[in-house]
Amino acid sequence: MLKNLFNDEAGFVVSAELVLISTLLVLGLIVGLSEVQHAVVQELNDVGDAIGSVNQSYMYSGFSAKKSSGRAVKSFSRGSAFSDIGDDCDNNQCDITCDQPVAERYAY
């Protein structure tokens, strides 16, 4: 019985094929998920650029009303204005960069 067990190779080819197929599937899955990650990051970058390009300037004028006698002011409101200027990183104007390496020193 033990001799038959050692000479039996019926499942060897199937297990080797499964290892090869599973290895290829895992490698393909890793590459596919990496591409999905790059696509999601690119789309989120586009959304950030769209939000950064919105002009947030606004203005409204003031008004006033006089009393029926025409001499005194009954109510008034002042106007306001805000002008949007470009920020540092709007529309990919800045890059994330690393500083030059600095040598370590002894702390005295």
Q: Where are the domains of the chain?
A: 10-78
Most confident among 7-11, 30-34, 54-58 (mean pLDDT): 30-34
The mean per-residue pLDDT over the stretch 23-47 comes to 91
Summarised one tens digit per residue, pLDDT across range 44-71 is 888 888 887 788 888 889 888 888 887 8
Alpha helices in the chain (DSSP H): 2-7, 12-52
What is the share, in percent, of the chain residues with pLDDT greater than 70?
A: 81
Q: Are strands 73-77 and 63-66 parallel, antiparallel or unpaired?
A: antiparallel
Most confident among 2-6, 56-60, 100-104 (mean pLDDT): 56-60
What is the share, in percent, of the chain residues with pLDDT greater than 90?
A: 19
